[in-house]
Each structure stands twice: as C-alpha cells, then as structure tokens.
Structure 1
C-alpha cells in the first residue's frame, strides 16, 4: 500500500454537486482542512463542472478517474460524494481495457454509489477503502471534522492503511440544513450501542467487499435505471460465487432510508445470487438516524436464511455519521466480543 499521502485528487464519479454554487462554502471548508493535513489537493478536470454536465457526460467522469490513476504524482483518489448512476462509467473504463491499462495500486476512498467503482477496482485486483467522501466528511460544517471520522481519515493519509475499526461512542442525527448559516453549528448526538451480533459466531474472518445495498440492487433491478442490469452484466461487475467464497459482505443503506418492504426486496435480490451460502459473514452499517434499525435487524436473519452465517449490525460506516473507513481486499478479523475489526495485509 501507499505510505504517507502527499497529494490527493478529488473526483466526481457520480453526482456533479461539487461544482454547484450552493455548496461552495462547504468546498472551501474541506479544501482548507485538507491543506491543514499537509496535503496538496488536485481537483480533476471535470470534478467541478456541475450536476447537469456530469449527468450528461459519464465519459468525462471516467476520464478523470483514468487520469487520476495514471498521474504518478497522485497518491490518493478521494470521491467528492455519491450519486446514483456510476454504473454508466463501465463502457468508458472496460470496453477497450481503459481502466486496466491505467490502474495501479493507490488509495481510493468513497462510499454510497461509489460502491460501483469499488467493484470495478476489485475486478482488476486493486484494494480500496470504503466509508468516507470529501463533501460529507471533510467538508463537515462543525468547527472541525467529526472526531471519529477524522481519526480514521488521519490514519489513512498518515499510514496508507487502517489497522482496526471500533465502534463510535456516539452517533449523530443527519443535518437538515447544509447552508452557510449552518457553519459552526453542532450536530445532535446520541449514545451508540456498538457492534450487535444478530446470529452466528462472534469471531470470524475474511476479506471485506460490498457497499451500499441500494446501489448493489441496481445490478439486479431496473426500477431506477433501465440499463443498469444489462451494463453490469455485460461487464461482469458483480463478482462470481467463487470470488465471494470466504469473503465478508458489507452492507449499508442510503440516505433514502428504504422502508422495510424495500429493504427485504433488496436483500432477496442478493440472496438469489447465492452469496449467502458462501460468505464467511455479513457486516451491516447503522442506518441513517437509526430509522428502521429494529426492522432491519429482524429482516436480515429472516431473508438471509442461513442461521450459521454471522451477521453483525450497527457498524459506523456508510450513510450514518460518524464514519469509519473499511479496507476492501485486506484480511479482516471480526471480534464482536472485543468490539473490534482488525486488518492484516499479507
């Protein structure tokens, strides 16, 4: 892995919101924070071109990713935010082996719809990091980054790795106001429960892979995008069962806060792929604002239908704040009794 990060590139691979006027007060905060970390910051050519342009030009988003990997001066690629149509980059990254030619091992960090990019990198044997992004985390409107989130971001840029993940002592309600008047205001916080074992052994291990369940569902369902299933199938984005064997599946749910019926439907789509018969465990992120938390805890064991498969709920990763950072492609040992997930790189 990369050691200490010196230069970070910011890419907009999904939503182009980073280029809109109404978030520039947040961008300014985030840019100042990255510089205080001692980082040189590069916005890739199309990262700030706005919502409409990037929605109409997935090929430009792909170009930014290829350039960020090709540029040897860049140590870390930081995603601006998520979105909903990152799958549209597939032809511009895989049709002629473009990503394979450009890619090399460097830090890649993002979450939400960036799940698709993590799967693309996994196809090519590249390790990546899931759980934070520029706008939601580095640009936090409090006086400083949320301490738990900052702890993991700082560790990643200082060492190029994450040693272990432990629960946050608190969780925060999501903001309803992200405008300039909210600068410096504190979030409402609550005591956190820690990792919850829903079933199975409290200790298990494997490499972690997965992401946002809403995004993963687009690989199997055309409700949101009529071509998502066909494109993901054409480029074999979802790993085969042999690849999933022995892995730990990470699942977290989006800011859309899917209701129990939708959550059950998404889980069933994953079940039909057969992965719950070959995994070594499942890790589930805390839902935003803990909405439907109890319902999800009941639905998961029921739908998964494999009582020996460990399921651990309430990780601080994904759409609920604060956020840890979870390495993909690194051996992980989950120990619910010790309330720790530790990582060792071969």
Structure 2
C-alpha cells in the first residue's frame, strides 16, 4: 500500500519557515501533490530559524505528534542542522518517545543522524539518506533521477528492497535563489561501490550516518553538553550492541579536512567500534573532495585488517542520494554491486 500522508518536521534547522526559501518549498509541495500525497507541516515546523533554535521542546512535540497521528504514514525531515541532540530530554524523560512511537516511515539525514540513533534506542527501524528541502525541493526541472527512484520506491512499497550505485554524481549547487529554478547540476561519471579491504560479501543491520554528528557523541567542541546528554540517555550503542552490525559513515557539506577526518576515525577506532562490526560502508564525499585522502585514512587508522570496507556509496551529502534502511537485515555483495534488504517478519 502506497503512502498517502506525509508529515514534515523541522528537528534541526528551522530554515523551512524562512521567506527566502519559499520558492523551494513551493516546488517541493507541488511535487508531492503530483503523487496525490496529503502533506502536513507539523505545528512548529514553519516557525523559522530563531524559534526552532531556542525551542527544542517544540521540535520534540512535533515528532511526538507526528508519531501519534495514525493518519500519518511517513515522517519526513525538512533538512539537517547541528543540534537535534537537544531534543533528548524532551523525548526520553518519562519514556515519552517510546510511548508515542510506532512503526512508520521516518526519513532524514545529516544532523538527523541523532534522531535515527534515538529511534534505534527504542527499537524502531528508520530510513537514512534524503530530506524534504535538499531532495524533494531540488531546483532542477525534476528531482534527480536516482534520488527520485528511491524516494518513489519508499512511497510505493514503504520499503527499500536493494541499493545499487548511481551511474553519475553531481557537483553541489551553490546558488539556491529563485533564478536557479530549473537549472541543472553539473554531472560526472560515477564508478560504483569500491571494496577497499576485506571480503566482498558481508551482512548485518546497518546503523550510522553523518560522521560529524557521530563524532559529537565523543567530542564537545561543537556544543559543550553533547557528550553528557548523549551519555545520560545512553544514546550511542555499547560495543556489545554494535556486534555484527554494519556501520555507515558519510561526511557533510563542511568537507572536513583530512586532519579532522583522521581525528574522527581515530576516535571510533579507540572506542573499539571497528573490532566488533561486520563491515563498514563509506559514503561518497561531496564533490569528491578529499576522495583519495579519506580512503587512505580509513585504511591507515582502522587496525582491524580483516574488516570489509566499501567506499563510494551514494548516500548522504553527495548527490544523488539513495535511501538506506537502518535496523533491517542487509546483505552486501560488491561483486554484484548491490546491497539487499531482507525484511523478514518486519
């Protein structure tokens, strides 16, 4: 059964409510209407950057309300940001999120990584890789074809059956003004999933997301209370809980320098993550910036030389974007260039 009603939430940045982006929003609304989808902007989602910034409790209310509304089939994040960890007290005190959450499609990426970990904490599978403004509202004449393919699959099947590489990748858009409506992105040939270490076949449930957001679990340089809040609610899984999982990592539009990237990978290495997972998927860097440098660092800093590592997955901040289910059994086969998902009793 296809999705009939989508809720839009602003869980990180409140840019959705700003006047300067309304030409993008209008475009996205029209595209969703063409799918005969009813759209609901949650109560606080359109209140703008400043309101959203100082009211994490309002963001949390919107997520709870979207889960509680039985007419809503899918929760779609407006965009990322950098402080959605601040929702933790408003979602986990009194077990609020656990009491409200039920299985429905939740889709977002970037800073939404934290929200995916929140849902993982209460056992709710979710979907990583696309969001309303960057994907549905893409200023080209239509959604990017590869991105659109996976979004439509999620709409029509309420699942993703498999992920294969895109045949092309695009340079990031630099001008988001009205004048850019209908303009295409510069594209390049993409070379598929790249096995850089280990065996070409492995399996496990995938979890992860934006590397910078994951680094915030271990580092207070962005906000002074990220570690303490995430530790209080035990948001990052223990090594025991990571056993057998596949870790997904992708870098943001900030394009961290190789030195910063190395620091982040080393932190995960020190935690022991790479010794217990069954494999690592690494997303394509935006614009292929530091493509070879990141690859070298991953190989240098991960001491487990038998860990299977797949590079250049079309997920996250580089366009186009697939959608990857978290919490669903995945089989990776790089010879066949495919990641398949087995929903079993899900």
- Name the TM tier (shorter chain): over 0.9
Q: Determine helix, strand or coil for the equivalent of 2:147.
A: helix
Following the alignment from structure 2 to structure 1, what is the Cα–Cα distance between the partners of residues 271 and 100?
A: 31
Q: In structure 2, what is the Cα distance between the partners aligned to 1:258 and 1:97? A: 36
Indicate the larger mover: 298-307 or 226-235. 298-307
- Residue in structure 2 matching 1:11, options 5, 9, 16: 9
- Which residue number corresponds to residue 290 of structure 2? 292
User: How many Å separate the matches in 2 of 1:301 and 1:76?
Assistant: 38
* Partner in structure 1 of residue 123 of structure 2: 125
The offset of 1:241, in angstroms, is 1.1
Find the counterpart in structure 1 of residue 219 from structure 2.
221
Indicate the SS of the match to 1:332. Answer: strand
Aligned residue runs from structure 1 range 138-157, under 5 A: 138-157=136-155
Q: Which of 205, 208, 217 lines up with 1:207 in the alignment?
A: 205
Aligned partner of residue 332 in structure 2, secondary structure: strand
Task: Note the aligned Cα RMSD (angstroms).
Answer: 0.6
- 298-307 vs 77-86, which moves further: 298-307
| Residue of structure 1 equivalent to 2:58 | 60
Instruction: Report the alpha carbon displacement of residue 71 of structure 1 after superposing the two structures with TM.
Output: 0.3
Question: How far apart are 1:243 and its partner, in Å?
Answer: 1.1
Matched, 1:280 2:278: yes
Q: Deviations over 1:200-259 (max 9, x none)?
A: 001111100000000000110000000001000000010111111000000000000000
Structure 2 match to 1:23? 21
Q: Displacement of 1:4 after TM fit? A: 1.6
Query: CA–CA distance in 2 between the matches of 1:301 and 1:80?
Result: 35
Q: What is the aligned partner in structure 2 of residue 344 from structure 1?
A: 342
- 1:304 Cα deviation after fit: 1.3
Q: Secondary structure of 1:194's partner?
A: coil
SS in 2 for 1:216: helix
Could you tell me which residue of structure 1 aligns to residue 319 of structure 2?
321
Cα shift readout 1:265-289 (whole Å, capped 9, x = no counterpart):
0111111221111100000000000
Secondary structure of 1:96's aligned partner: helix
What's the secondary structure of 1:95's corresponding residue? Answer: helix
2:99 matched to which residue of 1? Answer: 101
**1:114: which partner in 2?**
112
Provide the TM-score with structure 1 as the length reference.
0.99
Segment of structure 1 superposing worse, 298-307 or 144-153: 298-307
Q: Distance in 1 between matches of 2:4 and 2:201?
A: 36
Give the CA deviation at 1:198: 0.8
SS in structure 2 of the partner of residue 25 of structure 1: helix
Mean alpha-carbon deviation: is it higher for 13-22 or for 298-307? 298-307
Matches within 5 A, 1:27-42: 27-42=25-40
Q: Deviation above 2 Å: which 4+ runs of structure 1?
A: none
Separation (CA, whole Å) in 2 of partners of 1:333 and 1:266: 27
1:138-162 CA-to-partner distances (Å, cap 9, x unmatched) read 0000110000000000000100000
* Partner secondary structure for residue 112 of structure 2: helix
**What is the CA–CA distance in structure 2 between the aligned matches of 1:216 and 1:118, rounded to whole Å?**
11
Aligned-partner Cα distance in 1 for 2:339–2:225: 37
How is 1:163-202 mapped onto 2 (pairs within 5 angstroms)?
Answer: 163-202=161-200
Structure 2, gaps ≥5 residues long: none
